[in-house]
Structures are given as structure tokens and as C-alpha cells.
Amino acid sequence: MRRIDLHTLREVAPLLCAGDTVLLSGTVYTARDAAHKKLIALLDANPNQPLPFSLSGAVIYYAGPTPTPPGHIIGSCGPTTSTRMDPYTPRLSSLGVAGMIGKGGRSSAVVEAIRQYGAVYFCALGGAGALAAKSVVTLREVAFPELGCESVKELILKDFPVIVGIDAKGNKIV
């Protein structure tokens, strides 16, 4: 199993192959379909206005963590079905998103965007949100608090287990 510091994802992405198991450490941003819709609306309204977080080199985790229990950093935070983000993914990839974490397959348009922009799609284990939460070191809400659990949160991960679902060459296991 390979360890990856997400700050170096752009450099290591070409070396990853579909099916590789990896442990991710570094910054990710949670965003589900409601947050994606708001990001696209912001871009449409004013493409020169900075977003609440930089897409350049960003990794987006398709998750909406549950409320944080006392004494914990985060509640359960398992992946959601990635195809719900497919309408937004090619555009966000063109703006610098380096990776995505979710579950399930992706559309052919997303596979092509991943290949074109040298990104990576990681598959996380569905149904194991409590286990995933153990890899979260810190949490900070960065955008759209009105969305509740679906607000955009910045997470710092340590050894978050995933499988490369679609590599930067467009090869896929899902």
C-alpha cells in the first residue's frame, strides 16, 4: 500500500494505476451535489471572483459528515455516490481539481476530464463512515453553512484508505 501526501498529488498522479490501494494524507474539501451546484453558480455569476477555496490542486471528497459527537473531531463521514457530481466535474477539473474521492462509477465525460486534466478518482469504502472519520485530524467549515452537513468543510486526513478507481490515464476499475 502506497502513502500519498495530497500536496504532491499532481506529481504522483501519473504514477498511479487503477486498482492501486493508497493511504491519503493532507487536505481535502467535502462537497456534495448541493455544494457543487453553488460553486458552479458562483463561477457563472462572476468567473473572476475567487471561490471560498482554491480549486488549484484541490481534492474533493464527496461526503456530508454527520453531526460531530462530543469528544470527536467529526461525525461519520463516508462517501456518497459520485455520479451525482458528474454534471459539475468536467468544469471543476478544468479549473484545477486534482482528485476526487467517492464511491461508484463515473460517466464517460468525467473519465475523459480526468484523463485530459491528469486528475485521479479515488474510491472510498461505502458504509464505513465511522471508520473513515478516524482518519480525520482536523475539520473547518469553509463555505455554505446554510447547507448543514452538506456545507463545504476542509478536512486534514491522515492515512485515509482508498483505491484508485480511475487513474490519470483514464484507466478504470469502476
Q: Which residues are identified as catalytic?
A: 36
* Residue 160 burial (10 A CB sphere; 0-12, 13-18, 19+): buried
The Cα–Cα gap between 165 and 112 comes to: 14
User: Could you give the 3-state DSSP secondary structure of residue 135?
Assistant: coil
User: Could you give the 3-state DSSP secondary structure of residue 85?
Assistant: helix
Cell of 6: 495530497
